[in-house]
């Protein structure tokens, strides 16, 4: 019978040679008592609780996280710029632009981790911008892949960019208020 082993200490910088046996002192499944099965299930629950199914990028050294952030951001912006070249083909445009946006927004997961990124995106300050951003990305893909309308795809992409800018401004203190006041002062002028 193959035994299950795991090494949580190596993830936290502990002794890498030390292994903890999941089955412990148990002989085999035919000789287990109900108490031993319960004990085994408790150990398995502890094992699952210690493992993260979402890769924790915070275990990477700071230099690697910065390289991952920069690479993801640059590749995302490159996809967005390259998508403008193929705008006349709505399928390629929609896929490339949305993929570039996902890479650019997801690049911050290298700095703060994917779980914290999701929490920040669902923060009450950013929930509307996130919902509009995700919704417009989906609408852009639908318009590009199924409707094949360049004009509707362009409108969805413009809304997506505006939502992304508004979402990004929520991280800078008082930036949203400054942009709002600037926009109001520009539109409030008499000609």
Give the pLDDT confidence of 76-86 residue by residue, as tens digits. Answer: 999 989 988 98
Residue 1 lies in a domain: no
CA angle (120 as vertex; 116, 125 as ends), nearest 5: 165
Q: Which tokens is 177 given?
A: 């208020």
Cβ-based neighbours of 128, under 8 Å, separated by 6 or more: none
Assign 5 to helix, strand or coil.
Answer: strand
Residue 22 above 60 pLDDT? no
Report the C-alpha gap between 76 and 100 in whole angstroms: 4
Is 40 a domain residue?
Answer: no
Look at residue 84 and tell me if it is in a domain.
yes
String of b and e for 39-75 (b: at least 16 CB within 10 Å)?
ebeebeeeeeeeeeeeeebeeeeeeebeebbeebbee
With a pLDDT cut of 70, the percent of the chain lying above it is: 68
Residue 50 lies in a domain: no
Q: Each residue of 28-61: pLDDT tens digit?
A: 545 556 666 556 555 545 544 454 444 555 677 8
Asked if residue 140 belongs to a domain, the reply is yes
Residue 135 in tokens: 């919704």
Whether 18 is covered by a domain: the verdict is no
Specify if 93 maps to a domain: yes
The span from the CA of 130 to the CA of 8, in Å, is 35
Radius of gyration of the chain (CA): 25
Looking at per-residue pLDDT, the higher value among 5 and 130 belongs to 130
Question: Could you list the residue range(s) of the whole structural domain that residue 148 is in?
Answer: 62-176
Task: Summarize pLDDT for 87-132 with one digit per residue, the tens.
Answer: 788 778 888 988 898 898 888 888 888 888 888 889 898 999 999 9
Helix (H) or strand (E) holding 41: helix 34-50
The arithmetic mean of pLDDT across residues 145-162, rounded, is: 87
Instruction: Work out how many domains the chain is built from and give that number.
Output: 1
Q: Which of 121, 163, 159, 122 is nearest to 140 (CA)?
A: 159
Assigned domain for 73 exists: yes
């Amino acid at each position: 019978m193959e035994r299950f082993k795991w090494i949580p200490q190596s993830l936290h910088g502990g002794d890498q040679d030390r292994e903890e046996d999941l089955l412990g002192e148990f002989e085999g499944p035919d000789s287990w008592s109900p108490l031993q099965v319960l004990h085994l299930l408790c150990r398995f629950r502890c094992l699952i609780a210690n493992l993260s199914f979402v890769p924790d990028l915070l275990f990477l050294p700071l230099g690697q996280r910065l390289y991952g952030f920069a690479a993801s951001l640059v590749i995302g912006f490159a996809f967005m710029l390259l998508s403008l070249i193929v705008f006349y083909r709505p399928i390629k445009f929609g896929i490339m632009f949305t993929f570039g946006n996902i890479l650019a927004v997801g690049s911050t997961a290298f700095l703060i981790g994917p779980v914290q990124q999701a929490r920040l995106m669902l923060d009450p300050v950013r929930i509307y911008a996130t919902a509009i951003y995700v919704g417009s990305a989906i609408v852009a893909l639908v318009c590009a892949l199924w409707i094949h309308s360049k004009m509707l795809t362009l409108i969805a992409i413009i809304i997506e960019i505006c939502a992304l800018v508004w979402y990004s401004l929520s991280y800078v203190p008082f930036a949203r208020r400054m942009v709002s006041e600037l926009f109001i002062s520009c539109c409030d002028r008499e000609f």
